[in-house]
Amino acid sequence: MLRILLSLLALMALGFTLVPATAQQKPPVQQKIAPQAKASAAGTWTGVVTQVGRSKGYALAMTIHDKGGDTDYPDLACGGQLTRVGSAGGYTFFLETITRGRLDKGGSCIDGSITVAPAGEQLSWGWVGSHKNQTLVAYGTLKRRQ
């Protein structure tokens, strides 16, 4: 027993350590796997949207970029600029300022807010505005323009 103890002390003096072989191996390198990026809403989206209380839908083309975008409603002869105000839970929120065809300047469109969310390969679109103490709502599903 004394001989084993002296041998161990000699090995330790020479710089050897008494660590199990499994502990001496370096742990495997763990690769950081980035979460899959959510599908970007950036680009141009088109479709026909429905306004509650209106008998006929109307065409919409919406272009989205990092900080906002723009809208064009060709059937209504109006359009506007989007300001991105945030995102949460897969939804992105914009304020829409009508720059062409404003109701208060003889046109047919008013400012409002737009919410979008991915819907598979499409984009769910919702709009809310207020005019003369009345809430106006429109909605639709848009497709990415190729």
**Mind listing the pLDDT tens digit for each residue in 10-67?**
333 444 444 444 445 555 554 443 333 345 789 999 999 999 999 999 999 999 998 8
> CA-CA distance, 61 to 80, in Å (whole number)?
11
Q: Answer whether CATH 2.60.40 is correct for domain 43-144.
A: no
Radius of gyration of the chain (CA): 31
The predicted model scores a pTM of 0.73
